[in-house]
């Protein structure tokens, strides 16, 4: 059960709206915090509709309350560290065995272009389904 129900928060927003000074008055921090807290219990659309706030405002309040964890751009990518193989590791070996018994040994790291060509040749020979 949330600390404050959706209905209680909606009532608090309605009271604030009835007493605010002008339509562009800033939403009090306490109401912003209540709205963001409700997101852990209710879907975003439910909170937006019940509190009569915009998605942009709700997202902005989330960012202001937790800037290090909020997602501001949903298309952002995580940066992964690049690592090279340890110098003492053995090179990889890929063995492709054709259905007719022929074997192809590829040592090291074959490029995607090379692997694509090998698979294309298998398809052309009728060894793999197209």
Residues 25-42: tens digit of each pLDDT:
889 999 999 999 999 999
* 59, 10: one domain: yes
Mean pLDDT of 38-65: 92
What's the pTM?
A: 0.49
Residue 11 domain flag? yes
Domains identified in the chain, total number: 2
Residue 130 domain flag? no
Residue 88 domain flag? no
* 99, 61: one domain: no
Residue 46 domain flag? yes
Pair 33, 1: CB distance under 8 Å: no
- HSE toward the beta carbon, residue 128, CA cutoff 13 A: 12
What pLDDT shows up at residue 1?
Answer: 43
* 52, 103: one domain: no
d(CA 40, CA 44): 9
Average pLDDT across the chain, whole number: 79
Task: Give the domain extent around 23.
Answer: 6-65
């Amino acid at each position: 059960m949330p600390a404050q129900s959706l209905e209680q928060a909606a009532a608090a927003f309605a009271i604030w709206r009835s007493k605010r000074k002008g339509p562009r008055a800033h939403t009090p921090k306490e109401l912003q915090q209540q709205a963001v807290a409700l997101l852990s219990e209710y879907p975003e659309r439910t909170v937006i509709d019940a509190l009569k706030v915009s998605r942009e405002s709700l997202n902005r309040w989330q960012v202001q309350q937790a800037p290090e964890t909020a997602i501001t751009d949903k298309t952002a990518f995580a940066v992964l560290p690049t690592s090279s193989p340890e110098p003492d590791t053995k090179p990889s070996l890929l063995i492709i065995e054709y259905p007719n018994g022929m074997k192809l040994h590829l040592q090291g790291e074959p490029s995607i272009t090379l692997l694509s060509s090998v698979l294309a040749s298998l398809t052309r020979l009728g060894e793999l389904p197209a």
